[in-house]
Chain A
Amino acid sequence: MLDAILAIPGMMLILGALAVPLLPPMVRNYYMLALIGFSGWSVWQIETGVHMTASLAGIEIILVRAEAITKPFALVFHIAAALNVIYAMHEDVKITATAGLAYAGAAIAALFAGDFLTLFAYWELTAFTSVFLVLAGNTSRSLGAAMRYLLMQVASGVILLAGAVLLWRSGAGFAITALDATTPAGFCVLLAFGIKAAFPFLNGWLQDAYPEASVTGTVVLSAFTTKLSIYMLALCFAGLTPLIWVGAVMTLFPVFFAVIENDLRRVLAFSLNNQLGFMVVGIGVGTELALNGTVAHAFAHIIYKSLLFMSMGAVLYRTGTAKASELGGLWKQMPLTAIFCIIGAVSISSFPLFSGFVTKSLTIGAAAKEGYFLVWLALIFASAGVLEHSGIKIPYFAFFGHDRKFKVKEAPLNMLIAMGIAAALCVLIGIFPQPLYALLPYEVKYDVWETGHVLGELQLLLFAVLAFVFLIVRGLYPPEIDSTVLNTDWLLRRALPRVAKGIAMPVLALWFSGVALAQKGLMAALRLSEETSRASGLVSGIASTGAAAGIFLAVFALMLVTRLFT
């Protein structure tokens, strides 16, 4: 029985996490790495197909099933989980270590879920485990953000379950398969995925919660939830054309927010949203090249995004701030962190020879090949936007720019090792993309190294860098200002409470005036009864014996009279 349970991918990490708080710090870290390594090795053996089913109240559920795109996602989730452990080795925080491992396990298990009921269980488990990482920020802000995060994540789960039930009622069963988004069931599932993939207007939780987590928590968060959602979208909605436009909007709007956001970890959260947009476009286009692009991009993105979050985490850890307006000149104190950060920055900006180039090019190429001119234009525009916020702004304001003369040390060794591995992977994938291409669902026939393509990319990026230099030298680049940038979480945090208050206030006013009226009436009645029953009152007053005798006589006389005449 236990064998069977442990054979579920990710389950080893979920159950193994239970022992984490009991172990001493050093043992704990190596135990987690060993667990992740063993889990990764056993998951690597799983070929496509259904491997484990069970019967639950007469419903067949598919606990383990692998599709063509499962392997690359499972592999990169394991890599991310391992990097997270190494990155957090300097700290002794049981709660984030436990939650982080269980969260990774739940996300991996979800990849292999073959039906929506199984998926629902892991979908909620990722929410429940990851919220502790936000809570680990340990501020009043992170508490509020954690609650809003949980609300959105659980809402996504409930909508997913509703979709699953509707699907079952329509006779299609619970199996995770291509769905029709125009049916109520399909739409519910799409909406549930859309929340976790941070679709426009459903994205607020991401930029709200991720930057409020602890130094290590944000790095863990960046890898799993959103990419699990991308994976599920690819399984259920590949080729759904409206997703192309949704994705295009996702690539565009975060770049403007990222320009003006001061918290560099929040800039990265906007950037994450923009990257998801490229993947969603690929799913919408739905051709072999496009889906290859989405999967490859997700793989490379998890690593370089993690690297960027790690570098900003290291800066925050050493200086106590991640705000651009308070940072600058750190390359002298933290040269290695700066180099790793720049490698992450050029990777996400998709400079040739780095991982973003060999993966994102597939998606953009697919959009062009299918003749989506405006989408293609949006994607290259967004690429210039990525260069602005992740390629330049992040390293420039943290490590160069205005020298704040910090007296800090380089990041701890374990952080440097984690960043070093991630940076090495960015370069290796960028130079030798073949092993990654071999993992993709379809054969890669696109030549990313075509000279004209490389030239176009270099021109796009380097002239954009030139534009940055031009704006800086001319003093036209906007200064960093410590502020709150309103985002769609405003709807949840401000608009909704205001609207709710708008509705609730008259209702409450009516209620309270009703209560007041009833209270008045009651008081009057009480007063009346009090008056009549007071010592001098009519009913229970202490009347004189004479009066009492008089009343008695009168009643007696009345009785006699009635007796006599009836």
Chain B
Amino acid sequence: MSDKVEISKSGRRFIGALMVVCAALLVAEFIIHRHAYFALEATPLFFALFGFAAFCVVVGGGVLLRKLVMRPTDYYQDDDNA
């Protein structure tokens, strides 16, 4: 899981562009007023932080779920052949 991933040239370009756009969105937060239904939503940078965190939680949750529900590919095969 922790093997270093090689990033291709186009991949690096994509990451660079993404960083620029994300930075722009952070700046925009202080220029554009976001209408909020809930107090939490009105917190500065709520969506940016929530998006980042939620993604990590989804992936982390998946890793934990794997321990619970991952089985060999032929798990049901024995039943089918029985």
Number of A residues whose C-beta is below 8 Å from B? 59
Task: State in angstroms the CA–CA spacing of A151 and B35 once bound together.
Answer: 48
Which of under 10, 10 to 19, 20 to 34, or 35 or more describes the interface residues of B? 35 or more
- CB under 8 Å from chain A, chain B span 1-60: 1-5, 7, 11, 15, 18-19, 21-22, 25, 28-29, 32-35, 37-38, 40-41, 45-59
A260-B66, A460-B47, A485-B70 are known contacts. Are A368 and B38 too (CB-CB below 8 A)? yes
Task: State in angstroms the CA–CA spacing of A4 and B78 once bound together.
Answer: 52
The answer, among A257, A385, A460, A484, for a CB contact under 8 Å with B73, is A484
The reply to whether B55 and A464 contact each other, CB–CB distance below 8 Å, is yes
Chain A residues whose C-beta falls within 8 Å of the C-beta of B15 in the assembled complex: 469, 473
- CB under 8 Å from chain B, chain A span 466-490: 466-469, 471-473, 475-479, 481-487
The reply to whether B70 and A459 contact each other, CB–CB distance below 8 Å, is no
The reply to whether B70 and A257 contact each other, CB–CB distance below 8 Å, is no
- Interface centre among B33, B41, B57, B58, by most chain A C-beta atoms within 10 angstroms, is B58
Chain B residues whose C-beta falls within 8 Å of the C-beta of A467 in the assembled complex: 51-53, 55-56, 59
A410 shortest CB reach to chain B, Å: 20
Contact bitstring A413-454, B, C-beta under 8 A = 1, else 0? 000000000000000000000000000000000000011110
The reply to whether B70 and A462 contact each other, CB–CB distance below 8 Å, is no
The reply to whether A465 and B58 contact each other, CB–CB distance below 8 Å, is no
- Say yes or no for A535: interface residue by CB 8 A criterion: no
The reply to whether A257 and B50 contact each other, CB–CB distance below 8 Å, is no
Chain B residues whose C-beta falls within 8 Å of the C-beta of A400 in the assembled complex: 11
The reply to whether A475 and B4 contact each other, CB–CB distance below 8 Å, is yes
The reply to whether A483 and B2 contact each other, CB–CB distance below 8 Å, is no
- CB under 8 Å from chain B, chain A span 347-394: 368-369, 371, 373, 376-377, 380-381, 384-385, 387-388
What is the chain B residue whose CB lies nearest that of A498?
A: B79
Task: State in angstroms the CA–CA spacing of A324 and B6 once bound together.
Answer: 18
Chain B residues whose C-beta falls within 8 Å of the C-beta of A494 in the assembled complex: 76, 79
What is the chain B residue whose CB lies nearest that of A144?
A: B80
- Say yes or no for A553: interface residue by CB 8 A criterion: no
- Say yes or no for A463: interface residue by CB 8 A criterion: yes
- Say yes or no for A140: interface residue by CB 8 A criterion: yes
Task: State in angstroms the CA–CA spacing of A141 and B76 once bound together.
Answer: 9
The reply to whether A380 and B54 contact each other, CB–CB distance below 8 Å, is yes
Chain B residues whose C-beta falls within 8 Å of the C-beta of A469 in the assembled complex: 15, 18
- Say yes or no for A43: interface residue by CB 8 A criterion: no
Residues of A near any B CB (own CB < 8 A): 140-141, 144, 255-260, 368-369, 371, 373, 376-377, 380-381, 384-385, 387-388, 400, 450-453, 455-469, 471-473, 475-479, 481-487, 493-494, 497
A-B contact pairs, 10 of them (CB 8 A): A257-B69, A260-B66, A380-B50, A452-B35, A455-B47, A460-B48, A463-B48, A467-B56, A476-B1, A494-B79
